[in-house]
């Protein structure tokens, strides 16, 4: 099975420009950024509630706890919120006209219901298509997240835990290689 393409920084900018022009720009940007900045699967993104990302005082949590029921492997895990993702969530909060209930879906469809994993997957596919990014899917952000960590020298065991993988071989399949990286690797010799 062919893997989702990992986007370059320039392609990400093009995607976000397309998202910004859409009818539900804030919601769609939030979905994309959760994929890229937290490495979440589309089903995990679809299942998030406001209470998962905000505390009782409306402050963005430092960690998002994913229940076993919403993860692919059926194991609960913690997702750490970095500064960029925190700013994205705060930006998204500003677009809300009223304070959301903690149990309300973080992302809602036009019918004001929670997304299913399949519907959100289709939406993200449409965004990539509108941006002209062939080979990109709802999994592209997750692959970018894992690849970026690996290329930044983060320990493979840490990446594996952040991705919610049980086996290092699974994590390794996500990492994108290119000629520039391989050239840089042999320059250290």
Domain count along the chain: 2
- The CATH code of the domain that includes 97 is 1.10.443.10
> Do 103 and 173 share a domain, yes or no?
no
Q: Which of 124, 186, 178, 183 is nearest to 150 (CA)?
A: 178
> Do 104 and 168 share a domain, yes or no?
no
> Do 107 and 161 share a domain, yes or no?
no
**One digit per residue, pLDDT tens: the chain, 189 residues?**
678 999 999 999 999 999 999 999 999 999 999 999 999 999 999 999 999 999 999 999 999 999 989 998 888 999 999 999 999 999 999 988 777 899 999 999 999 999 999 999 999 999 999 999 999 999 999 999 999 999 888 999 999 999 988 888 888 888 887 777 788 778 888
- Structural domain including 168 reads 142-187
Structure tokens at 93: 């909060």
* pTM above threshold 0.75: yes
> Do 88 and 168 share a domain, yes or no?
no
Residue 63 lies in a domain: yes
The last residue of a domain, from among 120, 136, 152: 136
Phi-psi region at 132: left, alpha or beta (left = phi > 0; alpha = psi -120 to 50): left
């Amino acid at each position: 099975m062919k893997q989702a393409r990992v986007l370059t920084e320039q392609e990400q900018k093009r995607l976000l420009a397309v998202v910004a022009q859409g009818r539900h720009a804030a919601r769609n940007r939030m979905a994309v950024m959760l994929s890229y900045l937290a490495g979440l699967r589309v089903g995990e993104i679809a299942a998030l509630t406001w209470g998962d990302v905000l505390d009782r005082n409306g402050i963005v949590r430092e960690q998002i706890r994913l229940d076993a029921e919403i993860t692919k492997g059926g194991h609960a895990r913690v997702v750490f919120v970095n500064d960029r993702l925190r700013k994205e969530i705060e930006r998204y909060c500003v677009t809300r006209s009223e304070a959301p209930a903690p149990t309300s879906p973080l992302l809602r469809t036009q019918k004001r219901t929670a997304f299913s994993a399949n519907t959100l997957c289709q939406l993200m596919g449409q965004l990539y298509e509108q941006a002209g990014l062939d080979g990109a899917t709802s999994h592209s952000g997750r692959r970018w997240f894992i690849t970026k960590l690996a290329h930044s020298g983060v320990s493979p065991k840490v990446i594996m835990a952040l991705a919610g993988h049980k086996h290092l071989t699974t994590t390794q399949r996500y990492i994108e290689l290119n000629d520039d990286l391989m050239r840089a690797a042999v320059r250290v010799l």
